[in-house]
Structure 1
Amino acid sequence: MDAEEIRAIFKFSALEKNLISSFGIEEELFLPFLLSLKSGGSWSYASEETNSIAVKDVITFYDDENKIGYTLEKIYFFVDPKVVKEEGLVSRLEKCGTKEERELVERPYFITLQAKKIIFAEVNPSLKKITVRELKKKHIQLKGTPAYSAAHELEHLEKGEVKGIPIWTFEYFKEQ
């Protein structure tokens, strides 16, 4: 790593620290947001007093004519999230943490969450821009993949470990 790269990392870290402090939230609560941004995926954090989750969604924009595009990442960050409503049921395979294999779980197709704070970020790799704002509303409905991810992270907060049916209980069928 050269000096220029180290300076860039320090600059990014300083901007990050300023952003976090601007929301008036304990720094450790932002861990799921930072992990989602830097490592990808959805994450949760819990202490004795409070908790938070970050839920990631992605949308790919592609220009067929020019043959270029980008994937916009949306990160929903919730402080002290609570489920208001769940609707639908989807069977899906998930892998979590240090587990070796994916497991079959059931998740809601829609989930409505309320939270003390909801912070929303859009990460645009085409522009190299991360736009972050606090949403005024305290309820939000997620659908599909973000709903599954939110339910998964809430299960971590509630039960610690996510449990499902191991994939080795499935059967293979070969079509002729």
Structure 2
Amino acid sequence: MDAEEIRAIFRFSAQEKSIISSFEIQEELFLPFLLSLKSGGSWSYASEDTKSIAVKDVITYYNEESKTGYTLEKIYLFIDPEIIKEEGVVRRLEKCGEREERELVERPYCITLQAKRVILAEVNPDLRDIRVKELKKKHILLKGTPAYSAAHELEHLEKGEVKGIPMWNFEYVKEYAKK
């Protein structure tokens, strides 16, 4: 690592500390957000007093003419989230933590969360910026992958460990191509 890269890391860290302190929230509540931003995925955090989850959603913008695009990441940080409504059931395979294999779980297709505070970050790799703001609305409807991720992280907060049916309970079925 050269000196310029080290200076860039320090600049980024200073900006990060500044943006976090600007929301006047306990710094540790931002841990799921930071993990989602730096490692990907969705994350949760809980203390005796409060909890937070970060849920990531992605949207890819692609220009057919130029054959170029980018994937915008939206990271929602929910402070003290609660489920208001769930709809539908989707069976899916998930891998969690240190487990080696994925497990079959059931998740809602749609989930409406309410939180004391909702902070949204939009990470734009095309512009190389991270726009962060607090949303006025405290109810957010998530569908599909963000809903599954939110349900997964809330299960961590409620039960600690996410449990499902291990993959070795599946059966292989050989099919033959039709002529």
TMscore range, shorter length: over 0.9
Query: How far is the alpha carbon of 1:156 from its aligned partner?
Result: 0.2
Partner in structure 1 of residue 131 of structure 2? 131
Q: How does 1:113-152 map to 2 (within 5 A)?
A: 113-152=113-152
Query: How far is the alpha carbon of 1:11 from its aligned partner?
Result: 0.4
Counting matched residue pairs gives 176
Partner in structure 2 of residue 12 of structure 1? 12
> What letter corresponds to residue 39 of structure 1 in structure 2?
S
CA-to-partner distance for each residue in 1:148-172, whole Å, 9 max, x for gaps?
Answer: 0000000000000000000111111
Q: How does 1:35-114 map to 2 (within 5 A)?
A: 35-114=35-114
Query: How far is the alpha carbon of 1:173 from its aligned partner?
Result: 1.1
Q: 1: distance between equivalents of 2:124 and 2:61?
A: 11
Query: How far is the alpha carbon of 1:144 from its aligned partner?
Result: 0.6
Q: 2: distance between equivalents of 1:99 and 1:52?
A: 23
Superposition RMSD in Å: 0.6
3-state SS, counterpart of residue 163 of structure 1: coil
> What letter corresponds to residue 70 of structure 1 in structure 2?
Y
Q: 2: distance between equivalents of 1:43 and 1:106?
A: 18
3-state SS, counterpart of residue 173 of structure 2: coil
Q: TM-score, normalised by structure 1?
A: 0.99
Query: How far is the alpha carbon of 1:146 from its aligned partner?
Result: 0.4
Partner in structure 2 of residue 168 of structure 1? 168
How high is the sequence identity, in percent, across the aligned residues?
A: 80
Q: 2: distance between equivalents of 1:161 and 1:83?
A: 18
Q: 1: distance between equivalents of 2:140 and 2:67?
A: 34
Q: 2: distance between equivalents of 1:62 and 1:77?
A: 27
Q: 1: distance between equivalents of 2:140 and 2:108?
A: 15
CA-to-partner distance for each residue in 1:58-84, whole Å, 9 max, x for gaps?
Answer: 111111111111111010110000001
3-state SS, counterpart of residue 142 of structure 2: strand
Q: 2: distance between equivalents of 1:66 and 1:153?
A: 38
Show structure 1 runs of 4+ deviating over 6 A.
none
Query: How far is the alpha carbon of 1:85 from its aligned partner?
Result: 0.6
Q: 2: distance between equivalents of 1:103 and 1:65?
A: 41
Query: How far is the alpha carbon of 1:113 from its aligned partner?
Result: 0.6
CA-to-partner distance for each residue in 1:103-124, whole Å, 9 max, x for gaps?
Answer: 0000001101110100011100
Query: How far is the alpha carbon of 1:174 from its aligned partner?
Result: 1.3
